[in-house]
Amino acid sequence: MNGLKNEYIFKVKGMRCASCVGKVEDFIIKIPGIESVNVNLPAEKVGVRSALNFDVDLKNKIFAAVVESGYTPEDIVTKNSNIQKTLIQNIFTNDFLKLITSAVLSFPLLLPMFGVHISGITQLLLATPIQFLIGFEFYKSSYYAIKTKYLNMDVLVAIGTSAAYFLSLYLLFSNTSGHFYFESSAVVITLVLLGKFLEKRAKLKTLKALESLESLKPSRALVFNSKTQNFEDRSTEMIFQDDIVMVRPSERIPVDGIIIEGQAQVDESFLTGESLPVFKSIDHKVLCGSLNTDGILKIKVTAATQDATLLHQIIQSVESAQMTKAPIQKMVDQISRIFVPAVLLIALLTFLGWYFYSSNFELSLMNAVSVLVIACPCALGLATPTTMMVGTGLAAQRGILIKDMESFELVHKIKTIAFDKTGTLTQGKPQVISTIFDSELSVSDADSKLKLKIDILKKAASLQKNIHHPLALAVVEHFEKMKNNLLELYPVSELKSIPGLGVEGIIENERWILGSKKLLESYQVNWQDDNQFILKNQDFGISSTAYLARVSTTLGIVKVSVECIFLFQDQLKPQSLIAINKLKSLSIKPVLITGDNRKTAALICEQLGIKDFFAEVLPHDKMKYVKQLKIDAQGSIIAMVGDGVNDALALTTADVGIAMGSGTDVAMHSAGITLLSGDPLAIIDAIELSKKTSDKIKQSLFWAFIYNVLGVPLAAFGILNPILAGGAMALSSVSVVLNALSLKLK
């Protein structure tokens, strides 16, 4: 089974319109244990959620329900699949051959319109295989539609073309007329097939985003064999957790993992949308699908299988999002379900009205046939899902992962966005912004003073080198920026980490400690000035401090001297200010919700131009503030942007939850939209893309509705004959799909 244990996605062949969608959904939802069913008409896929884990028995019940509804279910083969290639092969075999055969047989039937005589028997011989062999699929679908009382567009085609065909057959053998309507039945079927062919060909382009993501997964890789002590070529399906993989220049990385040897510039544009490669070296994480532009990398695998990689999760999430329905699509589905019965009624009234008016059976029947043919609701059923597929595909290419369509539809309607601070607007990792050295250690000349400072920083970095706490990493990074490249760290003995306080160790026969104020107080350090300088600088957003001290013992007396004080601050992301300004230009109000102290929160808001903020908020209280924002908004759309476990409840409470891809899995699973790059500017991209997609949906629905609103009366009043009606119906579906594809041109 694909997807989650309680989610199953499979293909269904034969669906043509929104009525088909409704029928499949209704038949499956009746199965005990099924919670929800979503049908993606353009992709011919069905997503089913169950309260129980899927097993063979439940799958068989689902497939049986689909067959009973008149359609053909199929499993999706994901291994080594090429979506576009498979669809193209299908088009240019079955569909194309049917279309060409139907067109060749139909063409002679049009010649009488140009004064060329063709006998009635010849017309019968040409039209019969089109009607009953090539057009058999319409009869088959209509049979199941009538049997299950879910009428679809095929019922309209079957009834309309059959009426024209059998009327012509009657006229041929009754010798009452020299004019026949075989060309109407044959050409309408040909035009319907042409419309489906062009529609399916156009829909190929909506799947290119997924196909391009699939193509990023290498099929083979060089894997270290511990027995031979060499790297061997192996299928990526045979790579396991903790294996060592070697990636050469210009090769794509086949796994998610950690670099254990080598360095290189890695192109992660598929994930972040950033065109410039990122430098990666030892201990850096790399992702499947990234391109190694230079250097040789040895990578330890962290994702046990290809299905566990972030790339695979992205592909699954995009597919899952395309299976869910936007609220506007649910409304369209309801309209489409009553549309076909309404059209049948209009066609009947058209026949009766014309017959009462003219007493001409042939004319009355042809006008009724025109109503049936032109009213096929293909365009109506395709308008929303096709556009959403294009929109979510474009979003994936830009590093915006859409988890559900409702969030995507609502994003451009947002009026207030609540931001978490750490990791969302700030980089999420503290940096050393200043160091205070003991004045007693300072010397007169600048060179000696600099060397002394670097040596003190070297001792601090030596203590922190193997400690993975964010503050420790910041100290090491600060030293790396100042040191001479040839300067190595001191060896540290008796290194001891003291949880929540700091570290201590022996450097050159002296004991050094580095940590919080509480750690130094445990050595009974006397704070004469109570660190007034540090307290003063809290106004400048200092979030943390750390103290490096030398511990000496003379005649049993322990002396602790503070050599350096580190001041830390979580820096703003470079794009945060631009993002906030753009949001305000779109009349979207930004709000900050943070657990930091009020002074730090006020500083951040001042730097970003945010007027409203809530500070010192406990993790479980963030949800309450989001609820209050929703109450204050009086129905306006509220979004929450966060990246941590403590943001999960707030993300689910907001109308739209947006998670940073650089954050925790819990946050990403709680949000409807994930910004894989962690760039706040991607919020603007999501809003703009949502707006463009929404506009395209409205355009497509307008044309689909106006086509039927105008077309049906024209046919009913005898202005359109069946052939023109069939051509208009075919082109309407194609126009809707092409309108959706035009999203890519903006």
User: Which amino acids are annotated catalytic?
Assistant: 420
Whether the CA torsion 77, 82, 84, 85 is positive or negative: it is negative
Q: Find the DSSP H helices in 230-277.
A: 269-272
Of the chain, the end-to-end C-alpha distance in Å amounts to: 38
Cα–Cα distance for residue pair 158/247, rounded to 1 Å: 58
- CB distance 715 to 701 below 8 Å: no
What are the phi and psi torsion angles at 597 (to 5°)? -65, 160
In the structure encoding, which two tokens stand for residue 561, read together? 């001297």
Burial class (CB in 10 A: 0-12, 13-18, 19+), 373: buried
Cα–Cα distance for residue pair 162/166, rounded to 1 Å: 6
Q: What type of residue sits at position 577? A: L
- CB distance 532 to 523 below 8 Å: no
What are the phi and psi torsion angles at 428 (to 5°)? 80, 0
Cα–Cα distance for residue pair 254/601, rounded to 1 Å: 42
In the structure encoding, which two tokens stand for residue 113, read together? 């319109």
Cα–Cα distance for residue pair 578/572, rounded to 1 Å: 11
Q: What region does 526 belong to: left with phi over 0, alpha with psi -120 to 50, or beta?
A: beta
In the structure encoding, which two tokens stand for residue 181, read together? 């309507």
DSSP 131-169: IIIITHHHHHHHHHHHHHT---HHHHHHHHHHHHHHHHH
- Sequence-distant (≥ 6) Cβ neighbours of residue 542 within 8 angstroms: 433, 534, 567, 568, 569, 600
Closest C-alpha among 307, 227, 294 to residue 264:
294
Distances (CA, A) of 518 to 37, 211, 551: 57, 56, 15
Give the Cβ contact number of residue 526 at 10 Å.
7
- Sequence-distant (≥ 6) Cβ neighbours of residue 382 within 8 angstroms: 41, 42, 199, 700, 704, 733, 736, 737
Q: What type of residue sits at position 102? A: S
- CB distance 55 to 33 below 8 Å: no
The whole-angstrom distance between residue 61's C-alpha and the CA centroid of its chain comes to: 30
What are the phi and psi torsion angles at 92 (to 5°)? -85, 10
- CB distance 583 to 417 below 8 Å: yes
Cα–Cα distance for residue pair 94/254, rounded to 1 Å: 36
In the structure encoding, which two tokens stand for residue 461, read together? 């970095």
Cα 233-237-242 angle, rounded to 5 deg: 80
Burial class (CB in 10 A: 0-12, 13-18, 19+), 5: exposed
Distances (CA, A) of 694 to 45, 329, 383, 688, 690: 22, 11, 11, 10, 6
Three-state helix/strand/coil letters over 8-66:
EEEEEECCCCHHHHHHHHHHHHCCCCEEEEEEECCCCEEEEEECCCCCHHHHHHHHHHH
Q: In what order do the strands lie in the sheet with 285-286?
A: 230-235, 220-225, 244-247, 297-301, 257-261, 285-286
